[in-house]
Every structure is written in C-alpha cells, then in structure tokens.
Amino acid sequence: MTDGSPTLRAAPTTPEHRQIVILGAGFGGIGLAIKLREAGFDDLVLLERADGLGGTWQANTYPGCACDVPSQLYSYSFAPNPDWSRTYGRQREILGYLRSVAAEHDVERHIRTGTELLDARWDDAAGLWRIETSRGKLTADYFLSAAGIFAEAKYPELPGMETFEGTAFHSLHWDHGHDLRGARVAVIGTGASAVQFIPEIQPEVAALTVFQRSAPWIVPRLDRPTLGLERLLLRRIPLTQRAVRATWYGLIESFGLVGFVDNRFRHPFELLGRLQLRRQIRDAGLRAKVTPDYVIGCKRAIFSDAYLPALDRDNVDVVTEAIAEVRPHSIRTRAGAEIPVDTIIFGTGFESIPTAFERIIGRDGLSIADLYHKQPRTYLGATVAGFPNFFCTLGPFGAAGNQSAIYMIESQIAYIVDALTTVRAQGARRVEVRPEAQDAFLEEMRQRSASTVWLTGGCRSYYTTPEGANAGLYPGWSFEYRRRTSRFDTNSYEVTAR
C-alpha cells in the first residue's frame, strides 16, 4: 500500500567508457601502455587485481625468487638498465625495475590496482566490450589482455590433505610469518620455483623431504654480482649494453637447436647437465634418483648452481615414490613409508589457464578458456577469432621455449600497436582475425610441432596438452616470429569501417 506519492527511482548510471582497457600490469601491460601512448593512444586504463603493479614479480615473494633469464635480456629493449646488481635479477630488483619504468613513462596514472576482472563480454550490436570489475563497470572499444599464465597456484589432489594439522602453503602464497627453523618440511614438486627456494630453506629446517615426480634437468647458472667497472661501461657506452644483450640472446636462442631443429643437438646441453650432476652430487644413489630420464628441453630445463648441492645434505631426502595419502602429522607413500611432517610447501607450478580467461566472452558466447580447453588457439599468439577488437600477449603459440618472454612480448606489443594504428587510420570500428587465417596458422603450428622435443622427448609437462599436442610454444626461431609480427597483416583480418 502506498500514500499515492510518485515512486522515486535512481537514475541509471552510464558505465565509464575508455578507448582501450588493458588487463594486467606486469611486463605485458606496462609495455603495451608505454607503446600505445607513444602512438597517440592516451585514453586507456590498466586493470590490476593485485595491490601493486608487477604481475608475477609482485606476486611471487618466496625465498630465492629470481629470474632464470639474464637481466640484460629480461628487460625492455627500450628501457635498458646498466645497474643490475647480478647476472640474474632477483624478485625485488626486477619489481623495482618495473616500477621505475612505469614511473618514468607516466604509466602509473593509468593503473587501477585492487581491481579484479569479473566479466568482459563483446556486445556485437553496440560494437564494444562491456566490462565488469570488482570496482565498477566500464565499456571499451578495445580490450587487450596482458594477463600472465603464471598467475594462479596449481595444487595436486592428495588424499587426506584436509586432515593435515600442520602448516601448508604454495610457493606463490609464501607464508612469511611461518618459522621454518627446526621444522620437518615436505616440498612437493621440483619445478623452477622449488629449485630456487629449496637451497634457501635447507639450512634452516631440521629435516627436508623433497617429493619428486620427475627429475628436472639442471644446468649451470653461473650467476654472480656485477662489478662496478662493468656497470660503469654499460652506463657510459650504450653499445656495450647492446652487445651484451645480443650475446645472451644468441646463447639462449641456441636452445632451439634441440627444441625444434633436431634433438641430436641435445648432447652438448645434456653433457653440461651430467657434468653438473657428477660434480655436485657425491652419493651415487642420490645421483641416480635425480638424473632425468628424458631428453633435455622436453620440459623446462632449469639454471641453478645451488639446488643439487642442497639435495646432497644430511638433513635432505629425495623421495620418488608417489604419495598415497596425507595424514595429520605425516605423509605416507605408496611404498608404505611414513614420513613425519610439520610443514608442507607446494612447488607444483601454476594453472595453465588463468581464471580471467573464463571471464572473457566473445561474439558466440564462448570464453577464451572454453576455446583453450578444446584446443590452444590464437593467431600469432596475439588475437583470437570470435573475439573482435581483442588482442593479447603471450597467447598460445606466442611464447617461446628458447627465448626471453620479454622479447616475445615486445614483438606482440609492436604488432598490436600497429594493428590499432592501422585501424585508426582507416577510420574503422571493428577488427577481427579471419577464422581461415587462424586455422591456417594453427595447422602450420601443428605440422611444425610434430617432431619437436616437447612432443618426442619422452616426458609430459605444461608444454603439452593432456592429449599430447603442443600446448602453445612457438615451434621456430624467435627472430622469425618477430619478422612475422613486425607489421599488421590487414589481409588476415575483417576490418569494418564506421
């Protein structure tokens, strides 16, 4: 019952509109913002769910966290840093570098931290993206994803895990308040993160049990502090820095000889790994446990000088039997051994398809994740058929197993910026890769992947799908990829004028 007064309704609010919305403020998002602004695109915003920029380098803070690519190469080519303190940058220094680049290029004002993507849908009738975030709604002419693939922790399914009464956490969510001194610790997984934090925690703990499903190939890292004279030369003579970067590029690119040329090139690389094993593991039984049984490069080889010596300590045991169950204060293996444990640390990597991809919906009502679950697909790793006005970095077949991710990201950034510049010059409203162009690219990737070490090297990893296909590595040289992405190939797209 009412008193006859007219009902007052809140006026509908119009969502904020931006020309470009970028998802993620890591290397990809920051690089995109810088180069888009240089091209005259200033109406843009970066959505970052974390409380600060940096992507994986903001999220991962475990002990020993560092890059496995030399810093002179794991940095923007347009923002060289002569002052890296070591050959390989550590987490805090890399994060500091990203912050300084963002500040120098005035990108920070475009970033909205603490803003999680809840939904992004292409509105075909309106010709724009409708985006919902934890802090409100937006619309955008173009939606660019720079969401990283190492963003969400992956946990194994372990019977009885819910009964464990100790402390458990993933390396991505390191519990810095938990004291490991004198603890009985189980590390599950031997991926790149575990290889870095195990040497850091080994001296502190009473007992360390490393549960290894398959042994990683470990090759010499040769990390060292940089000398003051080196930094002075790099600062005073820019050509020196370019030469150092080119040298590292060539060395790392050479891993492609094993990856997709001929796995007979593996022998010098495997010799390095075997010599490392012989030199750093004294016990023959342990050496046999941690010797890989697959071709190097089949899964990610890891650079480390500290991991193998840490395993060869009196308080460390490497267990290769599968876990049968977790109990309140122990872990029991399928062989029947029961190992007392106070703390479990998961070094089990990351989900291959981030949650954000489930929330990006294209023209046909399917999400990016829906498509990737069926078959990893993009065109040049930078865009997807069925998703108009959408581009991405490090999409399937846009990452390389033999090169710095930053090199590949910069190739994609150049391609995306050229695409938007071309569309703007044509006065167009909509751009979408033609399905036949994407299909031809994917068939090329399938054929070129057939003889790669990732598929024939005798292992399973995130390099491959559950069906045994290439999960998204570019099966070729990174300089070839850069040539292919150096110009926006308009003929492969449907470009619609206003």
DSSP string, 458-473: S---TTB-TTSSB-SB
| Higher per-residue confidence, 393 vs 2 | 393
**Alpha carbon distance 100, 146 (integer Å):** 19
Lowest mean pLDDT among 3-7, 178-182, 411-415, 443-447: 3-7
**Contact (CB, 8 A) for 44 and 19:** yes
**Alpha carbon distance 119, 208 (integer Å):** 43
pLDDT of residue 12: 53
The amino acid sitting at 341 is: V
Q: Is 80 exceeded by the pLDDT of residue 158?
A: yes
Burial call 455-469: b when 16+ CB within 10 Å, e when fewer: bebebbbbbbbeeeb
pLDDT of residue 115: 98
Distance of CA 240 to the CA centre of its chain: 29
* Across 49-68, average pLDDT: 96
Q: Across-strand partners of 112?
A: 47
Q: Across-strand partners of 350?
A: 153
Distance of CA 406 to the CA centre of its chain: 10
**Alpha carbon distance 420, 439 (integer Å):** 23
- Whether 161-224+231-346 and 16-152+353-497 are alike in CATH topology: the answer is yes
Averaged confidence pLDDT in the chain: 95
Four-way CATH pick for 161-224+231-346: 3.50.50.60, 3.90.550.10, 3.40.50.300, 1.10.287.3510: 3.50.50.60
Model confidence pLDDT, tens digit, residues 348-405: 999 888 899 999 999 999 999 999 999 999 999 999 999 999 999 999 999 999 999 9
**Alpha carbon distance 192, 329 (integer Å):** 27
pLDDT of residue 1: 40
**Alpha carbon distance 194, 64 (integer Å):** 9
Q: Is 70 exceeded by the pLDDT of residue 199?
A: yes
Model confidence pLDDT, tens digit, residues 13-43: 789 999 999 999 999 999 999 999 999 999 9
Q: Please, which pLDDT band fits residue 316 given cuts at 50, 70 and 90?
A: very high
Q: Which two tokens stand for residue 329?
A: 């204060």
| Higher per-residue confidence, 150 vs 4 | 150
Distance of CA 360 to the CA centre of its chain: 19
Q: CA 128 → CA 150, 190, 242, 490, distances in Å?
A: 29, 44, 41, 20
**Alpha carbon distance 217, 275 (integer Å):** 11
**Contact (CB, 8 A) for 378 and 397:** yes
Q: Give the H/E segment covering residue 193.
A: helix 192-201
- Percentage of the chain surpassing pLDDT 90? 92
**Alpha carbon distance 108, 54 (integer Å):** 11
One DSSP character per residue, 252-306 reads: HHTTHIIIII-GGGHHHHHHHHHHHHHHH---HHHHHHTS--S-TTSS--EE-SS
**Contact (CB, 8 A) for 189 and 169:** no
Model confidence pLDDT, tens digit, residues 322-352: 999 999 999 999 999 999 999 999 999 998 8
pLDDT of residue 148: 85
Q: Please, which pLDDT band fits residue 498 given cuts at 50, 70 and 90?
A: low
**Nearest Cα to Cα of residue 461 among 333, 322, 292:** 292
Q: Is 60 exceeded by the pLDDT of residue 186?
A: yes
* Across 84-100, average pLDDT: 97
* Across 264-282, average pLDDT: 95
**Alpha carbon distance 417, 136 (integer Å):** 27
**Alpha carbon distance 412, 418 (integer Å):** 10
pLDDT of residue 9: 55
The SS3 of residue 360 is strand
| Domain segments of the chain as ranges | 16-152+353-497, 161-224+231-346
Q: Across-strand partners of 361?
A: 121, 367
* Across 172-200, average pLDDT: 97
pLDDT of residue 151: 83
Four-way CATH pick for 16-152+353-497: 3.40.50.720, 3.50.50.60, 3.40.50.12780, 3.30.470.20: 3.50.50.60
